[in-house]
Chain A
């Protein structure tokens, strides 16, 4: 079944079509009934004209109504579509308006021109010469008849004048016969009371003998009358005599003349009837041309609407598809309507969509793989948009931060602050570039120690987004702490064990000598008690140093001239060993640094003390102060044997000592104080020999 037939059947099923058809037929039937009943008594010619005019009117009116309906419906639909921003409505409006202008203007001009021409032609039919001819024919007939009437009247007058002088009837009859012959009238008669007494007729005009008599009442006055009779015109004139007699004179016009007059008169009458129908004829012609113009306009507009729909449909489909794709919907192709240029355009679009779809699938696979990787890794990863307003994360990050929603979708960054992570949010928001650091959070009242790295994506000045990597160090730190405590316990035990052995030995010796009754017991007790006191004192010092390390007071930072502080520390050690020189290389230029002076003095003292102890005789210890960027670098360099092991970090562990004496908390305290100041400390080999301890602390705002 063809598309046309299918669409027609669909259209036919619509109720509005059936209702419209029914109403139209009803109106037609009603109008036809009214028209026929009104015009039933009209002459056939007028009836035909009126019927034709009516049908043309009806045809034109219905066409105008249909055209207006179609145009208004389409304009209304287009207005609605434009109002709601439906795709293609603007293009279709332009197309429709263009069609209307292109169709209606020439059609209207053609109609006006044709109507004007036909109206002019109709006027020309009723022109002055034709008008004159028509009136002349009437005048001619009147003139011929008038002449005949005048002749007969004159003859009747002459005869009546003669007869009224004759009293006797025979005399009148003979005189009448003589005058009939003399005057040559076609019919001459004498009547009494309207009844013919005698009539003399021209033998050549036998027709007159069959003329019906005039009605008696006609003879009340003198008169003349023309009558059609036997294919000619008979004129009879009568004149009364004083004595109830009347003279009748008749004349039959030549048949050829009358026939010619009749033809002329018929033409004149036909012309007059045509003239009477002239408005109807003009209206019929104009309506006919109007109908023709309307058919052309109707067909053209219908075609225009059909073509505009046909032309715009693929473009609208294309625009709608692109809009849907732009709106984020899935990629889809557009059906190809034809092999023309539009079809090529849609084909290109479909190819592009297919390629994009392929890329999208690849991208999705990559994203899925990435999601799988991110879901499997134990490092928490947060991703943020360029404005750092929305955040999403992998399952590890969601678990670390205690925000499960992070793993399922994007959240506003503010949601993390609400979830109890204000420091993390603040760090993310205020970062101006890549940031690394540690963070302690308390999700669910449990402390978590995180190592955090915030990195901008793309150009750091105009990042396209941000990535935060979170490493949960809680377990590691706990293990380290346990290991450290184990080490501390081992070292404390070792430290305590060292003096305990001599104490035990001294006590055992004193007890053994007492048993043996050694007389020199006093000396032995004195020596033993001295040794015990000495070792107990060492243990006391060790315990005090533990206490100092454990009870570090909080920092009391204030701007301090670092050069001056170093100078005081160096001054304390001047001359501590013969031959050893301690040099200060102060590059601070009187700069103030935000530090706790007492604790930082402890740092300097410990480092110088270690350097002095490690330095050989005649060695040089150099204390240097420099400024690098926004940091202050304090270094203590000695010329000792150098670092005892490959990993100098071990030296910063508490209670670790390579000297075989001391508590082993000196470098641990240094590291702790420096770290509390936000700085770092490390040991590195000196260029030739020895060790260089380098402390870096932020300058801070003085």
Chain B
């Protein structure tokens, strides 16, 4: 028990917490970002600039002998913007371009909590024989290495097995 506790404490915490809930033909995905958001992201939000976090979801067929085949890809974009006059944060979540949820909060902490824990998303799961894998990552910003080489600031890809229906 003690050893397990030590190992758990020593293990690096995942940047993303994901809860997958399967349903017939659908998969509910609930994501939570565990890492600190980039300071410039937060500053930009506080100053009234529109910011967003893009959650990329990719579904693969886990084939035994061949490479994993990508079967679907989705984008959950969570946008946030503060009205500098009213101080209200307007929040919108869009899944593949369609508004999933929206809201208004009055503080930065609430807004950050909203965007790092977006509403549950439901994505279509195609019929399959092989087990499915879901890969996710959250992207915050685009930076440039050596001034010109684009690089995305975000979490690492997290791979999960899609649970089968009971």
Interface positions of A (Cβ within 8 A of B): 41, 43, 53, 57, 115, 119, 134-135, 137-138, 141-142, 145, 225-228, 233, 258, 261-262, 265, 268-269, 271-273, 275-276, 279-280, 282-283, 286-287, 290
Contacts and interface: CB of A to CB of B under 8 A. Distances in A.
7 contacts: A115-B147, A138-B84, A226-B87, A275-B40, A276-B44, A282-B144, A287-B148
A41 B144 contact: no
Contacts of A145: 85-87
Nearest to B86: A226
Given A142-B87, A282-B147, 20 more contacts: A43-B50, A53-B150, A115-B147, A137-B84, A261-B84, A261-B85, A262-B85, A268-B47, A269-B48, A272-B43, A272-B47, A272-B48, A272-B49, A275-B40, A275-B44, A276-B49, A283-B147, A283-B148, A286-B147, A286-B148
Contacts of B50: 43, 273
Contacts of B46: 138
B48 A283 contact: no
Contacts, number: 79
Contacts of B40: 275-276
Contacts of B86: 145, 225-228, 233
A227 B40 CA distance: 27
Contact of A138 (B47, B88, B143, B150): B47
Nearest to A285: B147
A290 B85 contact: no
A41 B84 contact: no
Contacts of B97: 41
Contact of B143 (A226, A262, A279): A279
Given A227-B86, A280-B144, A138 B48 contact: yes
Given A135-B47, A268-B48, A290 B87 contact: no
A290 B47 contact: no
A407 B77 CA distance: 100
B51 interface: yes
A57 B143 CA distance: 15
B144 A279 contact: yes
B78 to A, nearest CB: 13
Contact of B49 (A53, A141, A273): A273
A283 B83 contact: no
3 closest pairs, A vs B, by CB?
Answer: A272-B49, A265-B84, A272-B47
A287 B146 CA distance: 11
Contacts of A272: 43-44, 47-49
B144 A134 contact: no
Interface of B: 40, 43-44, 46-51, 77, 83-88, 97, 141-144, 147-148, 150
A119 B85 contact: no
SS of A interface (majority)? helix
Contact of B85 (A53, A228, A273, A287): A228
Given A268-B47, A269-B49, A273-B50, A141 B85 contact: yes
Contacts of B143: 279
A290 B148 contact: yes
A459 B35 CA distance: 102
Contacts of A225: 86
Query: Of residues A137, A273, A282, A283, which shows the largest number of chain B Cβ atoms within 10 Å of its Cβ?
Result: A283
Given A142-B87, A286-B147, A269 B47 contact: yes
A119 B148 CA distance: 11
A13 B142 CA distance: 44
A329 B51 CA distance: 80
Nearest to B47: A272
B15 to A, nearest CB: 22
A141 B47 CA distance: 11
A272 B144 CA distance: 18
B84 A269 contact: yes
B88 to A, nearest CB: 8
Contacts of B84: 137-138, 141-142, 261, 265, 268-269
B116 to A, nearest CB: 18
Contact of B83 (A41, A228, A287): A228
Nearest to B49: A272
Contacts of A279: 142-144
Nearest to B84: A265
A138 B48 CA distance: 8
B147 A119 contact: yes
Contacts of B85: 141, 145, 226, 228, 233, 258, 261-262, 265
A165 B132 CA distance: 68
Contacts of B44: 272-273, 275-276
A233 B142 CA distance: 35
Nearest to B151: A279
B164 to A, nearest CB: 32
A580 to B, nearest CB: 131
Contacts of A287: 148
A453 B123 CA distance: 115
B38 to A, nearest CB: 11
A455 B87 CA distance: 122
A275 B87 CA distance: 21
